Amino acid sequence: MSLFPRHQGVLDALKNRGRYRELIARNGYDFASNDYLGLSNAPFMRQAAHDALDRGVGVGAGGSRLLRGNDQEHVLLEQEAAAFFGSERALFLGNGFVANMAIFSTLPQLGDLVLFDSLIHASAHEGMRLGRADTQSFAHNDVAEAKLKIENWRAEGGEGRVWIACEAVYSMDGDKAPVAELYELAHQTDATLIVDEAHATGVFGDSGRGLSHQIANDPNVLCLHTCGKALGVSGALICGASVLIETLINKARGFVFSTAPSPLNAALVRAALNELQVNPDRQNTALAQTARTHDLAKEICGFEGFESQILPIIIGDDKPTMALAAAMQDKGYDIRGVRPPTVPKGTGRLRISITLNTPIDVIERMLHDLNDEMSALGLEAKFNG
């Protein structure tokens, strides 16, 4: 008899439904990471770590930024990030999850409305749960519905500020948000647009500035650039108007009551941002490799409609999804299945990501094997891209 029978019961139920999650070791070619530019283990990044240590950068901050933890590396990173991404200010936090919690729990006020895309990340949901504003979703990428929801909310007496929230590139679907149209809607309705650039930073936009690169200087736009994906390190940069950044510094509990990220971490993010600026080849190579992969996926598997380096192969039910993932792992590819609640029910999928860690000939071979395994298991992708 388990000491924690209720917890054991929940775990057993997950196992029965094919939804039990386990930590498995990294194995095989990388088709699962978000290390899109291959920076996490790049020689120049390792060298940047040595150089930072040699110039005396600390490995720990020693406290909250508001106490002793405010290190020069954090300050320099924030100045460089604001200049690079084109915002008035930037704030560095330990990771994107905490950053989204900070944004959504702190900035929208009582009486405001947060209108979010239905596929927005779990961390934004956590923030909204802690916040005091009204929240409503709009159908994925449906700008017309978003507009209607704002009009209805106003017609029903909503008087506060509207915050429209989207991801630039959706983490599990790999499609892009209509950022320009959402920006236009925000403009028309006097709303503030929040763009989570997690999967676009480093990959899309001028020098990897993300899909919001042309609007990031508007104080009515707030952007989140996470540093653990294409930037290869960890952390997150919230970029926006000074008044919003200062509100976060004063009010975001995950910032105020938490040890600052390691200064070494900040130094490495600085190195990654510098790389985006001095070596455009890296972004261009990643984009070219993704484009070639889209062509190969069509030729070899008949898949169409992919928009980014994230390829969702939607199978449907959980068990066949995981069986296909296991078959691909057996062939030497680190490909993971993703099930509800991470994705909507009935849309279990392989989430294949294309990174500079895996060369194009291996990607081509993987697509042939994927095609063969799907035939062998009698599976068809329901919807691609």
Ligand X SMILES: Cc1ncc(COP(=O)(O)O)c(C=O)c1O
Show the binding pattern over residues 50-89: x = contacts ligand X (CB under 6 A), - = does not: ----------------------------------------
Show the binding pattern over residues 116-155: x = contacts ligand X (CB under 6 A), - = does not: -----x-x--------------------------------
Q: Is 96 in the site for ligand X (CB under 6 A)?
A: yes
Structure tokens at 121: 């990340």
- Cross-strand pairs, 209: none
Catalytic status, residue 307:
no
List the catalytic residue out of 74, 121, 176, 213. Answer: 121
Q: Is 198 in the site for ligand X (CB under 6 A)?
A: yes
Single out the residue of 70, 95, 214, 247 in contact with ligand X (rule: CB under 6 A).
95
DSSP 198: T
Q: Is 236 in the site for ligand X (CB under 6 A)?
A: yes
Edge-first strand order for the sheet with 113-117 is 89-93, 236-240, 221-226, 192-196, 162-167, 113-117, 134-138
List the catalytic residue out of 34, 212, 258, 357. Answer: 34
Sign of CA dihedral 52, 57, 63, 67: negative
Give the shortest CB-99-to-ligand X separation in angstroms. Answer: 7
Contacts 24+ apart (CB under 8 A), 54-57: 57/263, 57/264, 57/267
Give the shortest CB-234-to-ligand X separation in angstroms. Answer: 6
Choose between 97 and 333: whose C-beta lies nearer to ligand X. 97
DSSP 206: G
Cis peptide before 341 (omega within 30 of 0): yes
* Among 52-60, 93-101, 103-111, 136-144, the segment contacting ligand X (CB under 6 A): 93-101
* Among 48-56, 69-77, 96-104, 332-340, the segment contacting ligand X (CB under 6 A): 96-104
Single out the residue of 141, 192, 226, 262 in contact with ligand X (rule: CB under 6 A).
226
Q: Is 100 in the site for ligand X (CB under 6 A)?
A: yes
Choose between 102 and 143: whose C-beta lies nearer to ligand X. 102
Burial tier of 209 (Cβ tally within 10 Å: 0-12, 13-18, 19+): buried
Catalytic status, residue 229:
yes
Structure tokens at 181: 């149209």
- Cross-strand pairs, 193: 164, 221
Structure tokens at 308: 């980014």
Strands 113-117 and 310-316: unpaired
Q: Is 97 in the site for ligand X (CB under 6 A)?
A: yes
List the catalytic residue out of 30, 71, 73, 167. Answer: 167
Choose between 48 and 224: whose C-beta lies nearer to ligand X. 224
Choose between 100 and 212: whose C-beta lies nearer to ligand X. 100
Give the shortest CB-28-to-ligand X separation in angstroms. Answer: 21
Single out the residue of 117, 167, 218, 334 in contact with ligand X (rule: CB under 6 A).
167
* Among 8-16, 92-100, 249-257, 375-383, the segment contacting ligand X (CB under 6 A): 92-100
Catalytic status, residue 34:
yes
As a whole number of Å, the CA-based R_g of the chain is 21
Binding residues for ligand X, how many (CB under 6 A)? Answer: 13
Structure tokens at 187: 């403009």
Burial tier of 284 (Cβ tally within 10 Å: 0-12, 13-18, 19+): exposed
Angle, CA 250 vertex, CA 245 and CA 254 arms, to 5°: 90
Choose between 189 and 342: whose C-beta lies nearer to ligand X. 342
Q: How many helices (DSSP H) and strands (DSSP E) are in the chain?
A: 13, 12
Position 283, amino acid: Q
Q: Which residues bind ligand X (CB under 6 A)?
A: 95-97, 100, 121, 123, 167, 171, 196, 198, 226, 228, 236
* Enzyme catalytic residues: 34, 121, 167, 171, 196, 199, 229
